[in-house]
Structure 1
Amino acid sequence: MTYKTLTQKLSMLLASALLMGSAIAAPLKIGTNPGMLGDSLAVAAQEAQKQGLDVEIVEISDWTTPNVALAAGDLDLNYFQHGAYLDNEIRERGYPFVKAGVGVLPNIGLFSTRIQRLEDLKQGATVAVANDPINQGRGLVLFENAGLIQLRDGVGTKATVHDIVENPRKLKFKELEGPQLVRALDDVDLAQGYPARFVSAGRPDIATSGLQYSTVDDVYYAILFVARENNANDPRIAQFIRIYQQSPSVHAKIDELYAGSKKLYSLPWQK
Protein backbone atom coordinates (compact mmCIF):
# COMPACT_ATOMS: atom_id res chain seq x y z
CA MET A 1 0.00 0.00 0.00
CA THR A 2 1.47 3.37 -1.00
CA TYR A 3 1.73 6.28 1.36
CA LYS A 4 -0.81 8.18 -0.77
CA THR A 5 -3.30 5.31 -0.62
CA LEU A 6 -2.83 4.94 3.12
CA THR A 7 -3.36 8.68 3.62
CA GLN A 8 -6.55 8.58 1.55
CA LYS A 9 -7.92 5.64 3.55
CA LEU A 10 -7.07 7.32 6.85
CA SER A 11 -8.80 10.51 5.66
CA MET A 12 -11.90 8.52 4.71
CA LEU A 13 -11.94 6.73 8.05
CA LEU A 14 -11.52 10.02 9.91
CA ALA A 15 -14.34 11.63 7.93
CA SER A 16 -16.55 8.62 8.61
CA ALA A 17 -15.76 8.77 12.33
CA LEU A 18 -16.55 12.48 12.43
CA LEU A 19 -19.87 11.90 10.69
CA MET A 20 -20.74 9.12 13.11
CA GLY A 21 -19.79 11.27 16.06
CA SER A 22 -21.86 14.11 14.68
CA ALA A 23 -24.88 11.81 14.28
CA ILE A 24 -24.50 10.51 17.81
CA ALA A 25 -24.16 14.04 19.18
CA ALA A 26 -27.12 15.44 17.24
CA PRO A 27 -29.98 16.35 19.58
CA LEU A 28 -33.45 14.89 19.35
CA LYS A 29 -35.39 17.67 17.60
CA ILE A 30 -39.04 18.07 18.58
CA GLY A 31 -41.40 20.54 16.91
CA THR A 32 -44.27 22.04 18.87
CA ASN A 33 -46.41 25.15 19.35
CA PRO A 34 -45.57 27.93 21.82
CA GLY A 35 -47.44 28.07 25.12
CA MET A 36 -48.53 25.09 27.18
CA LEU A 37 -47.07 22.48 24.82
CA GLY A 38 -43.71 24.16 24.35
CA ASP A 39 -43.34 25.05 28.02
CA SER A 40 -44.08 21.53 29.24
CA LEU A 41 -41.69 20.04 26.67
CA ALA A 42 -38.97 22.43 27.85
CA VAL A 43 -39.23 20.99 31.37
CA ALA A 44 -39.05 17.45 29.98
CA ALA A 45 -35.97 18.44 27.95
CA GLN A 46 -34.26 19.60 31.14
CA GLU A 47 -35.07 16.28 32.79
CA ALA A 48 -33.78 14.44 29.69
CA GLN A 49 -30.50 16.34 29.88
CA LYS A 50 -29.93 14.90 33.34
CA GLN A 51 -30.24 11.44 31.80
CA GLY A 52 -27.74 12.23 29.06
CA LEU A 53 -30.33 12.80 26.33
CA ASP A 54 -29.85 16.03 24.39
CA VAL A 55 -33.16 17.48 23.20
CA GLU A 56 -33.87 20.58 21.10
CA ILE A 57 -37.37 22.05 21.27
CA VAL A 58 -38.39 23.91 18.09
CA GLU A 59 -41.40 26.18 18.60
CA ILE A 60 -43.54 26.82 15.51
CA SER A 61 -46.58 29.10 15.66
CA ASP A 62 -48.71 27.47 12.93
CA TRP A 63 -50.32 24.03 12.53
CA THR A 64 -48.86 23.24 9.10
CA THR A 65 -45.09 23.57 9.39
CA PRO A 66 -44.54 20.98 12.17
CA ASN A 67 -45.78 18.19 9.91
CA VAL A 68 -43.98 19.51 6.82
CA ALA A 69 -40.72 19.68 8.79
CA LEU A 70 -41.21 16.21 10.26
CA ALA A 71 -41.87 14.70 6.83
CA ALA A 72 -38.74 16.42 5.45
CA GLY A 73 -36.57 15.00 8.23
CA ASP A 74 -35.87 18.39 9.80
CA LEU A 75 -37.58 17.17 12.98
CA ASP A 76 -37.40 13.79 14.69
CA LEU A 77 -40.74 14.16 16.42
CA ASN A 78 -43.56 16.64 16.80
CA TYR A 79 -46.03 17.30 19.57
CA PHE A 80 -48.88 19.63 18.67
CA GLN A 81 -51.74 17.67 17.07
CA HIS A 82 -54.50 15.44 18.34
CA GLY A 83 -55.64 12.17 16.80
CA ALA A 84 -58.39 13.69 14.67
CA TYR A 85 -55.99 16.21 13.15
CA LEU A 86 -53.32 13.57 12.54
CA ASP A 87 -55.76 11.22 10.82
CA ASN A 88 -56.91 14.03 8.56
CA GLU A 89 -53.32 15.04 7.69
CA ILE A 90 -52.41 11.46 6.77
CA ARG A 91 -55.58 11.12 4.70
CA GLU A 92 -55.22 14.46 2.92
CA ARG A 93 -51.43 14.68 2.50
CA GLY A 94 -50.26 11.10 2.65
CA TYR A 95 -47.73 11.69 5.42
CA PRO A 96 -45.86 8.53 6.50
CA PHE A 97 -46.53 9.24 10.18
CA VAL A 98 -47.28 7.08 13.19
CA LYS A 99 -48.32 7.79 16.74
CA ALA A 100 -45.28 7.41 19.00
CA GLY A 101 -47.02 8.21 22.28
CA VAL A 102 -49.88 10.06 23.93
CA GLY A 103 -49.59 13.37 25.73
CA VAL A 104 -51.87 15.74 27.57
CA LEU A 105 -55.60 15.87 26.80
CA PRO A 106 -56.68 19.53 26.70
CA ASN A 107 -60.37 19.71 27.51
CA ILE A 108 -62.54 22.18 25.67
CA GLY A 109 -65.43 24.04 27.21
CA LEU A 110 -68.44 26.26 26.66
CA PHE A 111 -67.79 29.75 28.00
CA SER A 112 -69.76 32.93 28.49
CA THR A 113 -69.35 36.36 30.02
CA ARG A 114 -73.11 37.00 29.81
CA ILE A 115 -74.68 34.04 31.58
CA GLN A 116 -73.70 31.92 34.56
CA ARG A 117 -75.83 28.86 33.78
CA LEU A 118 -76.67 27.12 30.52
CA GLU A 119 -80.33 27.26 31.57
CA ASP A 120 -80.16 31.05 31.22
CA LEU A 121 -79.23 30.95 27.54
CA LYS A 122 -81.99 32.89 25.80
CA GLN A 123 -83.94 32.04 22.66
CA GLY A 124 -82.11 33.11 19.52
CA ALA A 125 -78.79 33.54 21.32
CA THR A 126 -75.63 33.78 19.23
CA VAL A 127 -73.11 31.05 19.91
CA ALA A 128 -69.65 30.52 18.43
CA VAL A 129 -67.97 27.32 17.26
CA ALA A 130 -64.73 26.58 15.43
CA ASN A 131 -65.01 26.79 11.65
CA ASP A 132 -62.60 23.99 10.80
CA PRO A 133 -64.05 20.50 10.32
CA ILE A 134 -61.73 18.90 12.89
CA ASN A 135 -62.62 21.09 15.86
CA GLN A 136 -66.16 22.08 14.93
CA GLY A 137 -67.43 18.53 15.34
CA ARG A 138 -65.89 18.28 18.78
CA GLY A 139 -67.52 21.55 19.80
CA LEU A 140 -70.94 20.55 18.48
CA VAL A 141 -70.80 17.29 20.42
CA LEU A 142 -70.15 19.38 23.53
CA PHE A 143 -73.23 21.51 22.73
CA GLU A 144 -75.21 18.31 22.34
CA ASN A 145 -73.90 16.90 25.63
CA ALA A 146 -75.02 20.12 27.29
CA GLY A 147 -78.57 19.48 26.04
CA LEU A 148 -78.66 22.53 23.76
CA ILE A 149 -78.95 20.79 20.38
CA GLN A 150 -79.34 17.36 18.85
CA LEU A 151 -77.16 16.12 16.01
CA ARG A 152 -77.98 13.72 13.22
CA ASP A 153 -77.58 10.12 14.37
CA GLY A 154 -74.13 8.66 13.86
CA VAL A 155 -72.22 11.80 12.85
CA GLY A 156 -70.38 12.14 16.17
CA THR A 157 -67.32 14.38 16.05
CA LYS A 158 -67.55 14.59 12.24
CA ALA A 159 -70.62 16.82 12.66
CA THR A 160 -70.98 20.24 11.09
CA VAL A 161 -73.62 22.88 11.79
CA HIS A 162 -75.60 21.33 8.92
CA ASP A 163 -76.01 18.16 10.99
CA ILE A 164 -78.04 19.91 13.70
CA VAL A 165 -81.51 18.34 13.57
CA GLU A 166 -82.97 19.86 16.73
CA ASN A 167 -82.28 23.39 17.97
CA PRO A 168 -85.09 24.19 20.42
CA ARG A 169 -83.62 27.54 21.48
CA LYS A 170 -83.08 28.56 17.84
CA LEU A 171 -79.43 29.28 18.56
CA LYS A 172 -77.57 31.22 15.87
CA PHE A 173 -74.23 29.51 15.19
CA LYS A 174 -71.30 31.73 14.29
CA GLU A 175 -68.33 29.88 12.79
CA LEU A 176 -64.91 31.33 13.65
CA GLU A 177 -61.28 30.30 13.37
CA GLY A 178 -60.14 28.52 16.51
CA PRO A 179 -57.75 31.23 17.77
CA GLN A 180 -60.50 33.88 17.37
CA LEU A 181 -62.90 32.13 19.74
CA VAL A 182 -61.15 33.57 22.80
CA ARG A 183 -61.31 37.13 21.47
CA ALA A 184 -64.93 36.75 20.33
CA LEU A 185 -66.23 35.76 23.74
CA ASP A 186 -67.51 39.26 24.58
CA ASP A 187 -69.39 39.45 21.27
CA VAL A 188 -71.45 36.27 21.62
CA ASP A 189 -73.66 34.72 24.27
CA LEU A 190 -71.77 31.42 24.43
CA ALA A 191 -68.64 30.08 22.75
CA GLN A 192 -66.72 26.88 22.35
CA GLY A 193 -63.26 27.55 23.73
CA TYR A 194 -59.88 26.19 24.68
CA PRO A 195 -59.08 26.78 28.37
CA ALA A 196 -55.31 26.89 27.84
CA ARG A 197 -55.74 29.85 25.49
CA PHE A 198 -57.60 31.78 28.19
CA VAL A 199 -54.83 31.00 30.68
CA SER A 200 -52.18 32.13 28.18
CA ALA A 201 -54.17 35.32 27.59
CA GLY A 202 -54.08 36.10 31.32
CA ARG A 203 -57.70 35.04 31.93
CA PRO A 204 -57.53 31.95 34.13
CA ASP A 205 -60.80 33.12 35.71
CA ILE A 206 -62.55 32.48 32.39
CA ALA A 207 -60.74 29.18 31.82
CA THR A 208 -61.93 27.77 35.13
CA SER A 209 -65.51 29.02 34.92
CA GLY A 210 -66.73 27.10 31.88
CA LEU A 211 -70.40 26.04 31.86
CA GLN A 212 -69.60 22.65 30.31
CA TYR A 213 -66.35 20.74 29.74
CA SER A 214 -65.28 17.75 27.72
CA THR A 215 -63.78 14.86 29.70
CA VAL A 216 -61.17 12.12 29.52
CA ASP A 217 -63.67 10.17 27.39
CA ASP A 218 -62.60 12.59 24.64
CA VAL A 219 -59.18 10.89 24.43
CA TYR A 220 -59.18 10.99 20.61
CA TYR A 221 -58.27 14.66 21.09
CA ALA A 222 -55.25 14.05 23.29
CA ILE A 223 -52.09 15.68 21.93
CA LEU A 224 -49.86 13.05 20.34
CA PHE A 225 -46.15 12.54 19.94
CA VAL A 226 -45.83 11.85 16.21
CA ALA A 227 -42.88 10.34 14.36
CA ARG A 228 -42.15 9.13 10.85
CA GLU A 229 -42.58 5.45 10.12
CA ASN A 230 -38.84 5.14 9.43
CA ASN A 231 -37.68 6.60 12.76
CA ALA A 232 -40.46 5.61 15.16
CA ASN A 233 -38.22 2.96 16.76
CA ASP A 234 -35.49 5.44 17.67
CA PRO A 235 -34.85 4.61 21.35
CA ARG A 236 -34.39 8.30 22.14
CA ILE A 237 -38.04 8.91 21.24
CA ALA A 238 -39.27 6.24 23.64
CA GLN A 239 -36.95 7.58 26.35
CA PHE A 240 -38.18 11.15 25.97
CA ILE A 241 -41.85 10.19 25.97
CA ARG A 242 -41.28 8.13 29.10
CA ILE A 243 -39.67 11.16 30.78
CA TYR A 244 -42.57 13.41 29.75
CA GLN A 245 -45.16 10.99 31.06
CA GLN A 246 -43.41 10.07 34.32
CA SER A 247 -41.62 13.23 35.47
CA PRO A 248 -43.25 14.97 38.48
CA SER A 249 -41.68 18.24 37.28
CA VAL A 250 -43.44 17.96 33.93
CA HIS A 251 -46.75 17.15 35.63
CA ALA A 252 -46.35 20.16 37.92
CA LYS A 253 -45.66 22.43 34.94
CA ILE A 254 -48.70 21.18 33.03
CA ASP A 255 -50.87 21.77 36.10
CA GLU A 256 -49.48 25.29 36.49
CA LEU A 257 -50.19 26.06 32.84
CA TYR A 258 -53.79 24.95 33.36
CA ALA A 259 -54.25 27.21 36.38
CA GLY A 260 -54.17 24.21 38.72
CA SER A 261 -57.60 23.06 37.57
CA LYS A 262 -58.17 19.40 36.70
CA LYS A 263 -61.33 20.47 34.86
CA LEU A 264 -59.14 21.82 32.10
CA TYR A 265 -57.01 18.82 31.23
CA SER A 266 -56.20 15.20 31.96
CA LEU A 267 -53.25 12.84 31.52
CA PRO A 268 -54.70 9.90 29.57
CA TRP A 269 -51.71 7.61 30.04
CA GLN A 270 -52.51 7.49 33.76
CA LYS A 271 -56.01 6.08 33.16
Structure 2
Amino acid sequence: MPLAQFLRPALLAATLFSGLALADPQHIKIGINDSPQNAAIELAAQLAKEKGIEVEVLSFSDWNTPNLALANGDIDINYFQHQPFLENAIAQNGYDLVPLAYGVENKVGLYSKKITAFNQVKDGDTVAVADDPVNQGRGLNLYQRAGLITLRDGAGPKASLQDITANPHKLKFIELPGPQLARVLDDVTLAQSYPSHILAAGTADPGSALLFSQDEANGHLYALRFVVARKNVDNPAVHTFIDIFQNDPRVRTAIEKAYGNPKLYALAWLPAQKEAAR
Protein backbone atom coordinates (compact mmCIF):
# COMPACT_ATOMS: atom_id res chain seq x y z
CA MET A 1 0.00 0.00 0.00
CA PRO A 2 1.42 3.46 -0.88
CA LEU A 3 2.57 5.42 2.15
CA ALA A 4 0.12 8.26 1.58
CA GLN A 5 -2.81 5.87 1.97
CA PHE A 6 -1.93 5.33 5.63
CA LEU A 7 -2.51 8.97 6.44
CA ARG A 8 -6.29 9.25 6.09
CA PRO A 9 -7.16 6.13 8.15
CA ALA A 10 -4.67 7.20 10.81
CA LEU A 11 -6.26 10.61 11.12
CA LEU A 12 -9.62 8.96 11.76
CA ALA A 13 -8.01 6.64 14.28
CA ALA A 14 -6.56 9.60 16.14
CA THR A 15 -10.05 10.86 16.82
CA LEU A 16 -11.20 7.46 18.04
CA PHE A 17 -8.22 6.91 20.31
CA SER A 18 -8.36 10.41 21.77
CA GLY A 19 -11.48 9.51 23.72
CA LEU A 20 -10.02 6.45 25.35
CA ALA A 21 -9.24 6.57 29.04
CA LEU A 22 -5.93 4.80 29.49
CA ALA A 23 -6.13 2.74 32.65
CA ASP A 24 -2.38 2.45 33.26
CA PRO A 25 0.23 5.15 32.64
CA GLN A 26 1.97 4.56 29.34
CA HIS A 27 5.39 5.75 28.27
CA ILE A 28 6.35 6.67 24.73
CA LYS A 29 9.44 8.28 23.22
CA ILE A 30 9.32 10.73 20.32
CA GLY A 31 12.35 11.75 18.27
CA ILE A 32 12.56 15.26 16.84
CA ASN A 33 15.07 17.68 15.29
CA ASP A 34 15.91 21.26 16.19
CA SER A 35 12.84 23.29 15.19
CA PRO A 36 10.52 26.04 16.45
CA GLN A 37 7.89 23.31 16.66
CA ASN A 38 9.77 21.77 19.57
CA ALA A 39 8.00 24.05 22.03
CA ALA A 40 4.65 22.79 20.75
CA ILE A 41 5.83 19.17 20.93
CA GLU A 42 7.03 19.70 24.50
CA LEU A 43 3.69 21.27 25.41
CA ALA A 44 1.78 18.37 23.85
CA ALA A 45 3.95 16.01 25.91
CA GLN A 46 2.99 17.87 29.09
CA LEU A 47 -0.69 17.80 28.18
CA ALA A 48 -0.51 14.06 27.48
CA LYS A 49 0.10 13.50 31.18
CA GLU A 50 -3.53 14.50 31.76
CA LYS A 51 -4.48 11.40 29.77
CA GLY A 52 -2.09 9.09 31.59
CA ILE A 53 0.70 9.17 28.99
CA GLU A 54 4.32 9.93 29.77
CA VAL A 55 5.99 11.32 26.63
CA GLU A 56 9.78 11.54 26.52
CA VAL A 57 11.04 13.96 23.87
CA LEU A 58 14.47 13.16 22.40
CA SER A 59 16.19 15.68 20.12
CA PHE A 60 18.54 14.47 17.36
CA SER A 61 21.12 16.67 15.62
CA ASP A 62 20.93 14.99 12.20
CA TRP A 63 18.33 13.69 9.74
CA ASN A 64 19.35 10.02 9.71
CA THR A 65 19.43 8.86 13.32
CA PRO A 66 15.70 9.44 14.08
CA ASN A 67 14.67 6.80 11.51
CA LEU A 68 17.39 4.39 12.60
CA ALA A 69 16.31 4.80 16.23
CA LEU A 70 12.69 4.22 15.24
CA ALA A 71 13.52 1.11 13.23
CA ASN A 72 15.60 -0.24 16.14
CA GLY A 73 12.82 0.34 18.65
CA ASP A 74 14.76 2.95 20.62
CA ILE A 75 11.89 5.43 20.13
CA ASP A 76 8.19 4.90 19.41
CA ILE A 77 7.52 7.75 17.00
CA ASN A 78 9.44 10.46 15.21
CA TYR A 79 8.46 13.82 13.82
CA PHE A 80 10.96 15.57 11.57
CA GLN A 81 10.50 14.45 7.95
CA HIS A 82 8.24 14.91 4.96
CA GLN A 83 7.06 12.04 2.80
CA PRO A 84 9.71 12.16 0.03
CA PHE A 85 12.44 12.01 2.69
CA LEU A 86 10.71 9.08 4.39
CA GLU A 87 10.26 7.20 1.13
CA ASN A 88 13.93 7.69 0.29
CA ALA A 89 14.99 6.44 3.75
CA ILE A 90 12.80 3.34 3.34
CA ALA A 91 14.16 2.65 -0.15
CA GLN A 92 17.79 3.01 0.97
CA ASN A 93 17.58 1.16 4.28
CA GLY A 94 14.60 -1.17 4.05
CA TYR A 95 12.91 0.34 7.11
CA ASP A 96 9.37 -0.82 7.86
CA LEU A 97 8.09 2.63 8.84
CA VAL A 98 4.61 4.07 8.43
CA PRO A 99 3.41 7.70 8.34
CA LEU A 100 0.42 8.09 10.67
CA ALA A 101 -0.62 11.71 10.30
CA TYR A 102 0.24 15.11 8.94
CA GLY A 103 2.06 17.72 10.97
CA VAL A 104 3.20 21.24 10.18
CA GLU A 105 4.41 22.03 6.69
CA ASN A 106 7.59 24.11 6.74
CA LYS A 107 8.20 26.36 3.79
CA VAL A 108 11.67 26.37 2.22
CA GLY A 109 13.30 29.49 0.83
CA LEU A 110 16.38 31.01 -0.74
CA TYR A 111 18.05 33.31 1.79
CA SER A 112 20.84 35.84 1.50
CA LYS A 113 22.62 38.40 3.64
CA LYS A 114 24.57 39.72 0.64
CA ILE A 115 21.98 40.46 -2.05
CA THR A 116 18.38 41.65 -2.16
CA ALA A 117 17.48 40.47 -5.67
CA PHE A 118 18.54 37.60 -7.91
CA ASN A 119 19.86 39.95 -10.59
CA GLN A 120 22.62 40.89 -8.15
CA VAL A 121 24.15 37.40 -8.32
CA LYS A 122 27.67 37.56 -9.78
CA ASP A 123 29.51 35.05 -11.91
CA GLY A 124 31.29 32.47 -9.79
CA ASP A 125 29.28 33.14 -6.62
CA THR A 126 29.04 30.32 -4.09
CA VAL A 127 25.57 29.09 -3.15
CA ALA A 128 24.37 26.33 -0.83
CA VAL A 129 21.92 23.45 -1.13
CA ALA A 130 20.98 20.49 1.04
CA ASP A 131 23.17 17.42 0.68
CA ASP A 132 20.42 14.81 0.95
CA PRO A 133 18.81 13.62 -2.31
CA VAL A 134 15.29 14.77 -1.43
CA ASN A 135 15.78 18.24 -0.02
CA GLN A 136 18.49 19.02 -2.58
CA GLY A 137 15.91 18.63 -5.33
CA ARG A 138 13.56 20.95 -3.52
CA GLY A 139 16.29 23.58 -3.29
CA LEU A 140 17.44 23.21 -6.89
CA ASN A 141 13.91 23.74 -8.11
CA LEU A 142 13.89 27.02 -6.19
CA TYR A 143 17.15 28.06 -7.90
CA GLN A 144 15.52 27.24 -11.22
CA ARG A 145 12.41 29.29 -10.34
CA ALA A 146 14.78 32.15 -9.49
CA GLY A 147 16.14 31.97 -13.04
CA LEU A 148 19.67 31.07 -11.93
CA ILE A 149 19.92 27.54 -13.36
CA THR A 150 18.08 25.20 -15.70
CA LEU A 151 17.35 21.61 -14.75
CA ARG A 152 16.97 18.63 -17.02
CA ASP A 153 13.41 18.12 -18.24
CA GLY A 154 11.69 15.63 -15.98
CA ALA A 155 14.16 16.00 -13.11
CA GLY A 156 11.26 16.94 -10.83
CA PRO A 157 11.46 17.09 -7.03
CA LYS A 158 14.35 14.58 -6.92
CA ALA A 159 16.68 16.73 -9.01
CA SER A 160 20.39 16.62 -8.16
CA LEU A 161 23.37 18.74 -9.13
CA GLN A 162 23.95 16.34 -12.02
CA ASP A 163 20.59 17.45 -13.46
CA ILE A 164 21.74 21.04 -13.99
CA THR A 165 21.89 21.63 -17.75
CA ALA A 166 22.57 25.38 -17.67
CA ASN A 167 24.43 27.44 -15.09
CA PRO A 168 25.05 30.80 -16.81
CA HIS A 169 26.59 32.44 -13.73
CA LYS A 170 28.88 29.44 -13.15
CA LEU A 171 27.59 29.23 -9.60
CA LYS A 172 29.62 27.10 -7.21
CA PHE A 173 27.27 24.82 -5.28
CA ILE A 174 28.24 23.53 -1.85
CA GLU A 175 26.24 20.73 -0.26
CA LEU A 176 25.48 20.76 3.46
CA PRO A 177 23.22 18.86 5.87
CA GLY A 178 19.86 20.60 6.09
CA PRO A 179 20.16 21.89 9.67
CA GLN A 180 23.53 23.54 8.85
CA LEU A 181 22.32 25.59 5.87
CA ALA A 182 20.93 28.36 8.07
CA ARG A 183 24.38 28.93 9.57
CA VAL A 184 26.35 29.64 6.38
CA LEU A 185 24.63 32.83 5.25
CA ASP A 186 27.75 34.88 6.05
CA ASP A 187 29.83 32.67 3.76
CA VAL A 188 27.66 32.24 0.65
CA THR A 189 25.63 34.44 -1.66
CA LEU A 190 22.51 32.33 -1.39
CA ALA A 191 21.45 29.36 0.72
CA GLN A 192 18.46 27.12 0.61
CA SER A 193 16.99 26.82 4.09
CA TYR A 194 13.85 26.28 6.12
CA PRO A 195 12.41 29.32 7.93
CA SER A 196 12.27 27.10 11.02
CA HIS A 197 16.04 26.54 10.86
CA ILE A 198 16.67 30.23 10.18
CA LEU A 199 14.57 31.06 13.22
CA ALA A 200 16.35 28.52 15.40
CA ALA A 201 19.80 29.70 14.26
CA GLY A 202 18.94 33.39 14.61
CA THR A 203 20.97 34.21 11.50
CA ALA A 204 18.30 36.18 9.60
CA ASP A 205 14.64 37.13 9.53
CA PRO A 206 12.77 33.88 8.65
CA GLY A 207 10.40 35.88 6.45
CA SER A 208 13.20 37.52 4.48
CA ALA A 209 13.71 34.80 1.85
CA LEU A 210 14.02 36.12 -1.67
CA LEU A 211 11.82 33.23 -2.82
CA PHE A 212 9.61 30.75 -0.99
CA SER A 213 8.36 27.32 -2.06
CA GLN A 214 4.79 26.86 -3.24
CA ASP A 215 4.08 23.36 -1.98
CA GLU A 216 0.29 23.61 -1.83
CA ALA A 217 0.27 22.61 -5.50
CA ASN A 218 1.94 19.34 -4.47
CA GLY A 219 -0.83 18.41 -2.05
CA HIS A 220 1.37 19.29 0.94
CA LEU A 221 3.85 16.63 -0.10
CA TYR A 222 6.44 18.32 2.10
CA ALA A 223 4.38 18.54 5.28
CA LEU A 224 6.08 16.81 8.19
CA ARG A 225 4.70 13.40 9.15
CA PHE A 226 4.33 11.63 12.46
CA VAL A 227 6.03 8.31 11.69
CA VAL A 228 6.07 4.98 13.55
CA ALA A 229 7.36 1.45 13.09
CA ARG A 230 4.59 -0.78 11.80
CA LYS A 231 4.15 -2.45 15.18
CA ASN A 232 3.03 0.89 16.64
CA VAL A 233 0.42 1.75 14.02
CA ASP A 234 -2.40 0.99 16.48
CA ASN A 235 -0.68 2.21 19.65
CA PRO A 236 -3.40 4.25 21.45
CA ALA A 237 -0.87 6.36 23.37
CA VAL A 238 0.79 7.43 20.12
CA HIS A 239 -2.55 8.32 18.54
CA THR A 240 -3.64 10.26 21.59
CA PHE A 241 -0.42 12.28 21.55
CA ILE A 242 -0.90 13.12 17.86
CA ASP A 243 -4.50 14.12 18.53
CA ILE A 244 -3.34 16.49 21.30
CA PHE A 245 -0.75 18.07 19.01
CA GLN A 246 -3.22 18.59 16.19
CA ASN A 247 -6.31 19.68 18.10
CA ASP A 248 -5.50 21.19 21.48
CA PRO A 249 -5.86 25.00 21.16
CA ARG A 250 -2.94 25.53 23.53
CA VAL A 251 -0.64 23.64 21.18
CA ARG A 252 -2.01 25.58 18.20
CA THR A 253 -1.14 28.82 20.03
CA ALA A 254 2.37 27.54 20.74
CA ILE A 255 2.89 26.83 17.03
CA GLU A 256 1.68 30.31 16.08
CA LYS A 257 3.96 31.91 18.67
CA ALA A 258 6.98 29.88 17.56
CA TYR A 259 6.78 30.93 13.92
CA GLY A 260 5.45 34.44 14.43
CA ASN A 261 4.44 34.64 10.78
CA PRO A 262 1.59 32.55 9.29
CA LYS A 263 3.23 32.69 5.85
CA LEU A 264 6.09 30.49 7.03
CA TYR A 265 4.08 27.34 7.68
CA ALA A 266 0.79 25.51 7.11
CA LEU A 267 -1.22 23.12 9.27
CA ALA A 268 -1.53 20.32 6.76
CA TRP A 269 -4.01 18.25 8.80
CA LEU A 270 -6.80 20.83 8.64
CA PRO A 271 -9.78 19.65 6.55
CA ALA A 272 -9.34 22.02 3.60
CA GLN A 273 -5.63 21.22 3.39
CA LYS A 274 -6.08 17.47 3.80
CA GLU A 275 -8.53 17.52 0.91
CA ALA A 276 -5.82 19.01 -1.28
CA ALA A 277 -3.59 16.04 -0.48
CA ARG A 278 -6.05 13.47 -1.77
Q: Find the aligned partners of 1:37 and 1:250 in 2 and give their Cα distance.
A: 10
Structure 2 counterpart of 1:252, one-letter code: T
Q: Find the aligned partners of 1:98 and 1:213 in 2 and give their Cα distance.
A: 29
Corresponding position: 1:97 with 2:97: yes
1:168-206 Cα offsets, whole Å, 9 max, x none, are 333332223333322221122111112212211224x43
- How many correspondences in the alignment? 247
Corresponding position: 1:183 with 2:165: no
Mapping of residues 81-96 of structure 1, within 5 Å:
81-96=81-96
Q: Which residue in the other structure is 2:126 paired with?
A: 126
Mapping of residues 17-96 of structure 1, within 5 Å:
24-96=24-96
Q: Find the aligned partners of 1:140 and 1:25 in 2 and give their Cα distance.
A: 47
Is the contact made by 1:126 and 1:173 (CA closer than 8 Å) also made in structure 2?
A: yes
* Structure 1 residue matching 2:184: 3-state secondary structure: helix
- The verdict on how the C-alpha distance between 1:63 and 1:190 changes in structure 2, with shifts beyond 3 A counting, is closer
TM-score relative to the length of structure 1: 0.83
1:216-267 Cα offsets, whole Å, 9 max, x none, are 4252222111111122012222222121111222222222222x11232111
Q: Find the aligned partners of 2:174 and 2:56 in 1 and give their Cα distance.
A: 40
* Structure 2 residue matching 1:44: 3-state secondary structure: helix
Using the aligned pairs only, state the percent identity: 47
Is the contact made by 2:101 and 2:269 (CA closer than 8 Å) also made in structure 1?
A: no
Is the contact made by 2:26 and 2:53 (CA closer than 8 Å) also made in structure 1?
A: no
TM-score relative to the length of structure 2: 0.81
TM-aligned CA deviation for residue 48 of structure 1: 2.2
Q: Find the aligned partners of 1:201 and 1:183 in 2 and give their Cα distance.
A: 7
The higher radius of gyration belongs to: 1
Is the contact made by 1:36 and 1:196 (CA closer than 8 Å) also made in structure 2?
A: yes
TM-aligned CA deviation for residue 26 of structure 1: 2.9
Structure 1 counterpart of 2:230, one-letter code: E
- The verdict on how the C-alpha distance between 1:63 and 1:125 changes in structure 2, with shifts beyond 3 A counting, is closer
Is the contact made by 2:215 and 2:222 (CA closer than 8 Å) also made in structure 1?
A: no
Superposed CA RMSD in Å reads 2.1
Structure 1 runs of 4+ with >6 Å offset: none
* Structure 2 residue matching 1:224: 3-state secondary structure: strand
Q: Find the aligned partners of 1:171 and 1:65 in 2 and give their Cα distance.
A: 32
Q: Which runs of 5+ in 1 are unaligned?
A: 1-22
Structure 2 counterpart of 1:51, one-letter code: K
Q: Which residue in the other structure is 1:5 paired with?
A: none
